[in-house]
Amino acid sequence: MNIKEEIKNLAQEIGISKIGFTSADDFDYLEKSLRAAVEEGRSSGFEHKNIEERIRPKLSLASAKTIISIAVAYPRHLPQQPQNRGFKRGKISPSSWGVDYHYILQDKMEQLARRIEQLTADFEYKGMVDTGALVDTAVARRAGIGFIGKSGLVISKEFGSYMFLGELITNLEIEPDQPVDYDCGDCNRCVQACPTSCLIGDGTMNARRCLSFQTQDKGMMALEFRKKIKTVIYGCDICQICCPYNKGISNPPIVAIDPELAQPELLPFLELSNGQFKEQFGQLAASWRGKNILQRNAIIALANAHDRSAIPKLLEIIDKKQNPIHMATAIWALSQLVKEPNDDLLDFIEAIQTEHPDVLAEREAFMTIAKNRQV
């Protein structure tokens, strides 16, 4: 058995869903699109900043010869539904159910690397997941994991697009695999289904218009996107739900999934302290942006869920003046939930004292909407 077959067997034992091999040659073809995304303001800002390092593997590992690409499939459906306790619930996208996938992939790649070290002398490697230098999707495509769909996601026949990706840049000399021989064809469903038209149709996107980005960005969420997130407080997988390759896909959970965290109760979520948030949600990938941004999203979700039981909590958020972004978002949420505000509410909103521009803007918008409704 050659080393390639041995590594494949090891990957299977470790719980890696799919593995592929490609050369450590440069990804020169990516440079133009990567630079254009930055220059045109279409990148999220979360990406590795050095474009040279993104397209040249040898800048990460000087001895690089082969990149081992791995995929770990994750589920698209909750194994069980949360209890019904009377609260409206938000949604966290499937990529953030259970333990943060960065930890899962890093652990599996380290296991694989340690096992490879037992097979060959002088093994050198550099592991990467998501936030590393290389473009995971480009590596996976060239290594035969799947093709890059019009959604920008890697898609395989076996697991659809529900795969976490990572890679080991190594000094091994291994025969490369070939890209898969299937693709999107004429299908354009994800491009048409995207509620913000962020997908360009060639596998690239305006990342700043993606609802997943919007749920992670700081500050106020632009008015254009608030209703479009519906009750999702982290992520977006609309382009995955409509993809024909995902039809019938039922990947098993990698780790235990708590449905109470995957679909958290929105009003109790707003009550969480920093410590409680870290204790309950700290292991989720969604927690990386912190409590405040997700609570902002939960306020929006309550409005989108038409949850009038949230009105007292929204008034409390405004009255306490602890977080201006939460205050401003709560004023907007009230404008959605209270169609005919009484004089007490109008006086309360009008009397808000602040110099914060977002709070002022939402206060003025609330009063304008209220006056227009009275005409």
The reported pLDDT for the residue numbered 45 is 85
Q: What percentage of residues in the chain have a pLDDT greater than 70? A: 99
362, 365, 367, 371 alpha-carbon torsion, rounded to 10°: -160
Neighbours of 261 (CB within 10 A): 18
Exposed, middle or buried, 284 (CB in 10 Å: 0-12/13-18/19+)?
Answer: buried
Length of the chain: 375
Tell me, what amino acid is at 44?
A: S
- 345: tokens are 């509410």
- Angle between helix axes 291-304 and 311-320 (nearest 10 degrees) is 140
247-290 pLDDT per residue, tens: 999 999 999 999 999 999 999 999 999 999 999 999 999 999 89
The reported pLDDT for the residue numbered 107 is 97
pTM: 0.95
List Cβ neighbours of 70 (8 Å cut-off, separation of 6 or more).
Answer: 11, 16, 18, 19, 105, 108, 109, 112, 165, 166, 167, 168
The reported pLDDT for the residue numbered 1 is 67
Q: What separation in angstroms does the CA of 18 have from each of 160, 163, 165, 231?
A: 12, 9, 10, 33
104-159 pLDDT per residue, tens: 999 999 999 999 999 999 999 999 998 789 999 999 999 999 999 999 999 999 99
List Cβ neighbours of 371 (8 Å cut-off, separation of 6 or more).
Answer: none
Query: Which of the residues in the chain have pLDDT under 50?
Result: none
Note if 136 is an active site residue.
Answer: no
Q: Return the DSSP state at 89.
A: B
CA gap 341, 294 in Å, rounded: 27
Name the residue among 319, 302, 257 with its Cα closest to residue 284: 257
Task: Select which of 25, 26, 130, 177 is catalytic.
Answer: 130
Name the residue among 250, 19, 25, 240 with its Cα closest to residue 112: 19
Q: What separation in angstroms does the CA of 244 have from each of 15, 94, 157, 185, 190?
A: 26, 18, 10, 11, 10
